[in-house]
Structure 1
């Protein structure tokens, strides 16, 4: 995201491809949103929900190393196996 000036594309325009390529397929002409502010939210679901309701989509980082993450396909991912110091995936919170 930092390499694309905070700009975002839709998943349909930039689909997940696993480890099939090391190439970036970012296309600035297909951007639909831009990150405008970075803050650290508290670890509190109600406060995150309130921020999502007030500001819209919230970007965050997660640890993808738990084995159950490999089988995740949709919905809310919830595990107690995450490591707050091993963040390696960026995702968006769009509400719940």
Structure 2
């Protein structure tokens, strides 16, 4: 949710959060209308210290949030996936 706010360059920020129970598993979906992530960068955003936009030096980001979330989710035998389209949306889906 922090990234949904931090990396949104639109005047009207929209964030949709869904929590569902599917076959005894929990599915958490967070989708925003922000700047999006280029398809060729999606595999990298879970890496420690990785930032898609290298020019965003002054936004108090260290490129650790998604890598930490990914590690915690995997430690609990969960899965995380990201879908995104530049200038349209980013959707994070977590299954636990």
- TM-score bracket for this pair, using the shorter chain length: under 0.3
Higher strand share: 2
State the TM-score, normalized to the length of structure 2: 0.28
Q: Which has the larger radius of gyration?
A: 1
| Structure with larger RCO (C-alpha < 8 A, sep 6+) | 2
